[in-house]
Chain A
Amino acid sequence: MSSTESEVLSTRRGSRVVLLWLLIGLLGYFVFPWYILEDGFFSFEWLDGYPFDTDYAPAAFLVFQGEKIWLTPLILPLLLPLVVLFRQSSRRFFSTILIIAGASGVFYLFAQGFAIGIRGFNAEWLQALFGELGDRQFGFGYGAVLLACTFLFYLTTGIASRGYINGDVFVVGAIGFIISIVALFIFFPIAQMLSSALRDNEGVYSLSIFIAKFSENKIWGLACLTENRGCGVAWNSLFLAIVVGAATTLLGLVFALVATRSGFRYGNWLRALTVLPIITPPFVIGLAIILLFGLSGTVTQWVAGVLDLQPTRWVYGLPGIMIAQMLSFTPIAFLVLIGVVEGVSPSMEEASQTLRASRWYTFKTVTFPLIRPGLANAFLLGFIESMADFGNPLVLGGNYDVLSTEIFFAIVGAQNDQGRAAVLAIVLLLFTLTAFYAQRRWLGKKSYITKTGKGDGGSHSLMPKRIMWPCYTIASVWVVFTVTVYGMIIYGGFVETWGLNHTLTFKHYITTFAVGINEFGIHFKGTAWDSFFTTLKIAATAAPLTAIVGLITAYLLVRQQFHGKDWFEFGTMLSFAIPGTVVGVSYILAFNVPPLELTGTGIILIISFVFRNMPVGVRAGIASMSQLDKSLDEASLTLGANTWRTFRKVILPLMRPAILAALVFSFVRAMTAISAVIFLVSAEYNMATSYIIGRVENNDYGIAIAYSTTLIFVMLTAILLFQLLVGRNQTSRPFTQSRTNVG
């Protein structure tokens, strides 16, 4: 009797899982092509010539043909669990065997992958040990990935049978899975980047070179203070980020006050503004600024005409970037602050007023101190946004160099200096991580309480007069400006050549999106269709993956208790603070060579979207899961369902709105992303945003703007459809939190 019964039960459940993964592992070893395919994951050309063509062969066929014999030992850990599978064995033995099989399998798989690359042995000591190999291998393909999963889940099942988390195979598996992919696609690339910054051009580690590169004058120089020259890029970025952070916070606060405290009836319409940054690709504002203030911009020309001056390029550089970023990021600060301002309980203010305080005194002593943490939060978000922003500086930068664009030019420019790009990326990462850390440390928990209802009753008191009028003025000017900017974007797409010939034309739309009929049926003639379809395809593939990863993570965070949960949370939210340019550089450095050879594929784009947007999915999941009564899960468990069934049958269906939200937002964000994308696109997988940037660089503004407008309308449609499907109230939360790591 006693504990043996529970042992039998849990090993029996474990056995079923192990059997499943054994079968998948067998498929991976015997059926699917082991190496990555030249023509992409989604092509099925490999069926031709399969299974004997060595490019497409599964591991088993390679080994039988006497090739890649180092793949042979993998069969051992794969089959090892058979020892415990079809017979009674003690739980201890069961778990020991699985842990050995899983751990040794994972280890050997990656060891051989990293040891043997496209030029044979990767390290000299291996060559010294085993002699010249005379053979080589490419990156992991389907087969290797399946086998890696098998080994991973052997390991987690083994750990679960040890009794970890009540022996729950699903939960331990999920934790193991999330940790593995976060390690592989967030920490591994960052580590690769660090290590490449520490090496010189010959690949030799050298701290002095790192220090020399790191402390370079181009990064930290302070010449602008003493002479008429530019400062280092780090200072440029920092200055810009601080100014933009402060300005967006102030403007956000003004809007929040007007929306909630002015008695202005259409205040709620202001909220519509908050959708704009979600659906606007980040550089589009920059484009509009050029149309207005550029050399041939409307305003520049007009002013020059009136004052009889020579038009200048004044907007390129700090002023332009600043205006564009303020326009882009103010709505984000507004989103954060409107929650905070509404969260201040009206009864506090009423209490203060019954104590004979005037409105101004109340505002100064009660309201303002209560929203101060929210202000700090908005500032840090604006700071991170500005630091990470890539599109606007690229379009408007002029001579004002910032970190994110310098990284890009270090890689694509004539220099192609990956080490320098890595160093710059580290500097940028240091800034954003510090801000991220500060945000979580001081404010994280506090500032997210956005109350929707007015629990205490009563209504918010109005702003004092002396700040009401300034607020109104600023808000109106701003609204007019924003409307002009978006008007420009739409109008600009229909103009022949901006600044020279303002005749209206459909030319740009026809060039980009023309459709014709030929003998094969519909023919997509426009130049943009290729990148447009690629974008749709990649965004649509990334969205469900993001949602799945995000929701599983949220489930683990909200519903399960385990050691190291704080670190787990930190790791999953970290990509929040990693600027897209840094992701781009680190992915190029990490995934350029076997065993993870992904550059130039569509997969690398998908992966980068999944991990960059993961925090959005996690937040949407956490927000809606913490509203589900925990007794629902518990009822399901006591009714005999296991955690996996509970997750599928109870939690997932009840989270449908959150799932939809995560889907739509990761889709939209994938369509607007540029900073990481621009490093990762290839001729075959070109994305809409990088195509547009290419047009801008050729001064093809008409086409760039026509394409951007189309994208904005596509995304607007997606969001409106979503609102129709789910209803307004449920969306407000993911909305609030969906756009806090652009760039």
Chain B
Amino acid sequence: MNQSELKTRAASVEFQSVTKRYGTEVTAVDNVSLKVDAGELVTLLGPSGCGKTTTLRMIAGLEMASEGRILIGGSDVTRLPATDRDVSMVFQSYALFPHMTVLENVCYGLRASGKNKKQSIERAEYGLDLVGLAGYGSRLPSELSGGQQQRVAVARALVLEPQVLLFDEPLSNLDAKLRRQVRDDIREIQQRLSLTVVYVTHDQEEALAVSDRIIVMKNAMIAQVGSPRELYEQPASEFVADFIGEANIIDVDITAVNQGNATVQVGEVMLNLDSRGLEPGSAKLAVRPNRIFIDSRNTANAAVLPGVVEKATYVGDRIEYKIGTEQGVLFCTSETTDRQVAELTEVAVSFDVTGPVLLPEDT
């Protein structure tokens, strides 16, 4: 066997109207349909208790769907238990078997699927090499650092060449610096081997950094699906806009809609934006803090909102301002750190041309 490559057998994952209930009271996942393409890294993102882990465990076969169908690689696995699914999972606690050495841990799944000892060891050693832990095979998990344990867990799942690889908050036990590095490692391996990965996190920065696509969940349902950029720049709801990055939500009036272009009035300022299917009338506008500009000199311009700096905070790479306006308090950041606008200064507030986005009605 040429052991230099792990083959990829990546397959797609599909949920068709899947519901999961615990008992009669709790609905942890409510009528969710989604599709993860082969070779794609998709993140499930959402606040605590929204059903991410449950969704992941249903893909793994550790929980059975109450309703709906689950397909992996096109075939129906809804009733198939975890053992028989070609899916591996990396647990938040790593779940390394404490009584086995690192090598035995990585061999475990290979042996369970009937490989002979020699093949298993060869493959396991390659897997350890892949995560940068060659030579650690004879240690016990308790003799490794947190980050190393995490990588052993990844290797253990990888060597099975699963159709789908699952991660449940794999970085939450690591410190901030290590988190960034391991996250990049996971992404790098995923792209190199073009694996299908479903990744659960509640850290939005982590999600934006690693994903091809992100599925944002809220209250057991999907709030929005899209690429990191889409979610950040085109949030479908106030919830998504606020959950991914921060956003100022401003009440506005749409005065006219013309072929998908809306004329939006914010105080005295008129903006020309994508209407996103909205009709004239009142609406909500989301603006990222870095898409709001302030100017302390040119305050008399008609195309600006008048405001007063209520609070200015220096945080190193930028300055954060709270500006009181007629539309409420706006939060904005400025990269110009050399010069700080003093508090109580009157300023002119304007918006970036591409930044603000109208929010469809929350349902």
Please give the residue numbers on chain A whose beta carbons come within 8 Å of chain B beta carbons, in ascending order.
Answer: 1-3, 5-6, 9-10, 163, 166-168, 629, 631-632, 634-643, 645, 649-650, 653-654
Interface residues on B, range: 35 or more
* Distance, CA A339 to CA B92, complexed state (A): 33
Contact flags B114-156 to A (C-beta < 8 A → 1, else 0): 0000000000000000000000000000000000000001001
The SS class assigned to the B binding surface is loop
Kindly report which residue of chain B lies nearest to residue A2, judged by CB atoms: B76
- B84 close to chain A: CB less than 8 A: yes
Excluding A1-B75, A10-B84, A637-B61, 5 further A-B contacts by CB distance (< 8 Å) are: A631-B91, A636-B97, A637-B81, A639-B88, A640-B86
CB contacts (< 8 Å) of B99 on chain A: these are 653-654
Kindly report which residue of chain A lies nearest to residue B86, judged by CB atoms: A640
* Distance, CA A634 to CA B96, complexed state (A): 11
CB contacts (< 8 Å) of B61 on chain A: these are 637-638
Q: Closest CB of chain B to A501's CB: distance in Å?
A: 60
CB contacts (< 8 Å) of A168 on chain B: these are 81
Q: Closest CB of chain B to A626's CB: distance in Å?
A: 16
* Distance, CA A2 to CA B85, complexed state (A): 13
* Distance, CA A631 to CA B166, complexed state (A): 14
Q: Is the CB of B88 within 8 A of A654?
A: no
CB contacts (< 8 Å) of A632 on chain B: these are 95, 97
- B316 close to chain A: CB less than 8 A: no
A640-B89 contact in complex given A634-B62, A653-B99, C-beta closer than 8 Å: no
The SS class assigned to the A binding surface is helix
CB contacts (< 8 Å) of B74 on chain A: these are 1
Q: Is the CB of A167 within 8 A of B81?
A: yes
CB contacts (< 8 Å) of B80 on chain A: these are 6, 9
Q: Is the CB of B81 within 8 A of A5?
A: no
Q: Is the CB of A641 within 8 A of B81?
A: no
CB contacts (< 8 Å) of A166 on chain B: these are 64, 79, 81
CB contacts (< 8 Å) of A642 on chain B: these are 83, 112
CB contacts (< 8 Å) of A2 on chain B: these are 75-76
* Distance, CA A138 to CA B53, complexed state (A): 58
Contact check: which of B81, B92, B108 meets A639 at CB < 8 Å? B108
CB contacts (< 8 Å) of B166 on chain A: these are 638
- B308 close to chain A: CB less than 8 A: no
Q: Closest CB of chain B to A265's CB: distance in Å?
A: 35
Q: Is the CB of B109 within 8 A of A641?
A: yes
Q: Is the CB of B113 within 8 A of A640?
A: yes
- B93 close to chain A: CB less than 8 A: yes
* Distance, CA A650 to CA B100, complexed state (A): 9
CB contacts (< 8 Å) of A645 on chain B: these are 112
Kindly report which residue of chain A lies nearest to residue B80, judged by CB atoms: A6
Q: Closest CB of chain A to B355's CB: distance in Å?
A: 43
Q: Is the CB of B76 within 8 A of A638?
A: no
Which of B64, B83, B89 is the most central at the interface, judged by chain A CB atoms within 10 Å of its CB? Answer: B83
Q: Is the CB of B81 within 8 A of A634?
A: no
Q: Is the CB of B93 within 8 A of A638?
A: no
- B273 close to chain A: CB less than 8 A: no
Q: Is the CB of B95 within 8 A of A637?
A: no
CB contacts (< 8 Å) of B32 on chain A: these are none
A640-B160 contact in complex given A635-B89, A654-B99, C-beta closer than 8 Å: yes
Q: Is the CB of B84 within 8 A of A9?
A: yes
Contact check: which of B62, B79, B92 meets A637 at CB < 8 Å? B62
Q: Is the CB of B95 within 8 A of A635?
A: yes
CB contacts (< 8 Å) of A640 on chain B: these are 83, 86, 109, 112-113, 160
* Distance, CA A641 to CA B166, complexed state (A): 17
Which of A1, A631, A638, A643 is the most central at the interface, judged by chain B CB atoms within 10 Å of its CB? Answer: A638
- B270 close to chain A: CB less than 8 A: no
